[in-house]
Chain A
Amino acid sequence: MSTYVYGITSSSLPTLPDGTEGVGEPAMPVRVIKEGDLAAVVSDAPEGLRPKRRDLLAHQNVLAEAGAGGPVLPMRFGSVSTDDAAVAGVLAERADHFKERLDALAGKVEYNVKATHDEEAVLHRVMSENPEVRALTEANRSAGGGNYDDKLRLGEMVVAAVKNREVEDAAEIQRALEPAAASVSVGPESTGWLANLSFLVARDSAETFIEAVEEVRKAHPHLDLRVHGPLPPYSFVEPGPSQPAEASK
């Protein structure tokens, strides 16, 4: 029976609540493998495990339960070992490394911030910053919307201006929130956001961080900020600034 690994923590971690449900359907019961000062939060690995929504949420929930009791190094979804003994072997072999990370992350949680533009508001902003765009918009409008080429020219200009704003706003968000965090990790660029930033925040200064987010919201009404946390420190498990992950096989 292979073993699914959720995360690595200290062996002094308080017991998980009874009935904590892991991945699989029916859900596999979660248990703990202890080895010296360390422990791995695991369950049996279900047959044919795939990244289904409920499994991803189970992974997340187990880590959240474990993380409520102390620092946890979250595994990326889908990590499976041949058996419990092999998990214990990894804990023993890399004990120093794991302990260093657990110490570094003690009392800290991750907040992920993703930002998008409010389209109407960002267009207003672009208009006010670019007299050329505004002039062309007004010219097109008085010509009943303008012909195809006029529209393309305006659209191209606006898109370029909005893209500039995306880059500037991403930098601005990072600059504004960084002082309220212990560390920052820039997530992979992708569809659906102009900024994807993870911040490592001390639990007891979480309020300060949230206030900083509110300040950014107030100062930049053309930005939509989506904040998620406190989360297990997914983006801070490796020492140093974590790199955007490459596509997984």
Chain B
Amino acid sequence: MTVVPAQQSGGGGGSSGLYDVLELVLDRGLVIDAFIRVSLVGIEILKIDIRVVIASVDTYLRFAEACNRLDLEAGPKRSPGLPDLVGSITESGAKGKSKGALSGAAETISDAFKQSREESQSESRPRARKAAASRRKEEQE
């Protein structure tokens, strides 16, 4: 039963795709007060900074540097409309793939998120680094 119409799952690469969907699994969905929920210690990592670009001296210096390096005459080099790698873990089509890719992974979810972030950053696409690279990982308990 793996018929998936118009399967779409793309943009940021496999690992950030995982991160994107797990955020929904953890944070949305029906909550029924008659049921207990398992402890989600460590999940706060999802809710750290408010914006992708954080105002701080480090960020200012980094952006100033990025502007300095920017080729002012050239337009944006990125060709529009090209979807990136497909990282599909959605719907049942994912069953086989996610097992293959993830079997044996037994990290807690905060590890999983950390790892997926690191992976998605180290995948660093050939074009410019993401503004998201400025995200902080200040953990708060």
Residues of A at the B interface (CB closer than 8 Å) are: 2, 5, 7-8, 17, 25, 49-54, 56-57, 59-61, 64-65, 67-69, 73-81, 86, 89-90, 94, 110-112, 114, 116-125, 127, 133-134, 137-138, 140-141, 145-146, 150-152, 154-156, 158-160, 162-163, 166, 187-194, 196, 198, 203, 206-207, 210, 213-214, 217-222, 224-232, 234-235, 237-238, 242, 245, 247-249
Contact = CB atoms under 8 A, between A and B. Distances in A.
Nearest to A53: B112
A119 B132 CA distance: 8
Nearest to B41: A50
A163 B131 CA distance: 11
Interface string B47-58: 111111101010
Interface of B: 1-12, 16-32, 34-40, 42-44, 46-53, 55, 57, 59-68, 70, 72, 74-81, 83-84, 89-92, 94-95, 98, 102-103, 105-109, 112, 117, 127-133, 135-136
Contacts of B10: 226-227
Contacts of A189: 50-51
B31 A141 contact: no
A158 B67 CA distance: 8
A56 B23 CA distance: 10
A134 B72 contact: yes
A2 B36 CA distance: 10
Contacts of B11: 114, 224-227
B24 A52 contact: no
Given A61-B92, A116-B132, A245-B28, A191 B49 contact: yes
Contacts of A196: 23
Contacts of B48: 190-191
